[in-house]
Amino acid sequence: MKIRVGVAQTATKDFDFDVTLERFRGLVQEASALGVQFLLFPEAFFGGYPKHTNFGAVVGLRGDQGRKDFAKYFNGAIAIPSPEADAIAQVSKEFNVAIGTGVIEKEGSTLYCSVLYVDPVVGIVGKHRKLMPTASERLIWGNGDGSKENLSAQKIQLAGGASVTVGGGVCWENMMPLLRYNYYQQGIQLYTAPTVDARENWLHTVTHIAMESRCFVLSANQFATTADYPAWHQEIMKSEFKAAGNDLADDAEIIGGGSCIISPLGEVLAGPLRKKQGILSAEIDLDDLVGARFDLDATGHYSRSDVFSLNINSN
């Protein structure tokens, strides 16, 4: 079964949901015109990735201004379910494109770095909260749990009558082998890896995942400049750069992209896209997964279930 998949390399605008939703809508419309049936957006696309700020926190001390800045960031997050989440689903329905997108989710007073999966007919079919925020991300985002809801792959119906099973992690949690295996054993066909890691070696990471899983891998990253951030965050970044003896231009690259699509045998089908925003797409054949797993099936004939097992604490 041949389908067309895509990744959107874009950026949150001003940590503002409504403005970012318009950017989202335009990209989904563009992808639909290209024939894309499943489109992946980057980590933290709705809500934003607050690179270069520590929210006034050092070991043993939190500052008043940092608390105020965190409150501003918190206000850009969305609850699930909510009218905002419904608006995302409505765009998917309008253009008949299935979606995976990073969102900063709020529940109570806690934020989570999540991914929403949207079926263009059914609406939101699932979400995944990042299990392990990286380094200082742990200051602002809570940990996802081991519940079935949080770790389940999602089966999504696509335009044209096809369906596809998708799942994956967010940014560096994709380097957690047991998390990956959890999705492999659910029979995923598309491995989704939204990220903000723009380093050259991220391509090696997702290529390895493709070859290990024998899945098609989609990785969408943000490409963000200073001007994509709200004014208060721009001031933080400019102060940091000035302290290091540098100026920060409005068009300075803050997150550098690198979005890509990888085949089950490690071939780069599209990307990596750098230095600009845009959409990458590729026609893939899900039937190729059978041949790809002829010599390596991580949860089948190339596994040793008599030696190793994965136990998940779903409580």
19 CA to centre of own chain: 19
- Spatial separation of the C-alpha atoms in residues 175 and 172, rounded to whole Å: 6
Sign of the alpha-carbon dihedral angle for 69, 72, 118, 10: negative
- Spatial separation of the C-alpha atoms in residues 49 and 43, rounded to whole Å: 8
Q: Choose the catalytic residue: 130, 215, 238, 260.
A: 130
- Spatial separation of the C-alpha atoms in residues 192 and 263, rounded to whole Å: 12
Match 């300075």 to its residue by tokens.
252
Whole-angstrom CA distances from 297 to 1, 183, 196, 309 are: 20, 13, 29, 15
- Cα–Cα nearest to 17, from 127, 68, 99, 91: 91
End-to-end CA distance of the chain: 37
215 is catalytic: no
260 is catalytic: no
- Spatial separation of the C-alpha atoms in residues 98 and 160, rounded to whole Å: 12
Q: Which residues of 274-293 are buried (b: 16+ CB within 10 A; e: fewer)?
A: eeebbbbbbebebebbeebb
Q: Choose the catalytic residue: 106, 113, 171, 215.
A: 171
130 is catalytic: yes
Q: Choose the catalytic residue: 43, 105, 173, 212.
A: 43
Question: Which residues have a Cβ under 8 Å from the Cβ of 294 and sit 6 or more positions away?
Answer: none
In this structure, the strands spanning 163-167 and 57-58 are unpaired
- Cα–Cα nearest to 219, from 136, 49, 100: 100
Residues with catalytic roles: 43, 130, 171
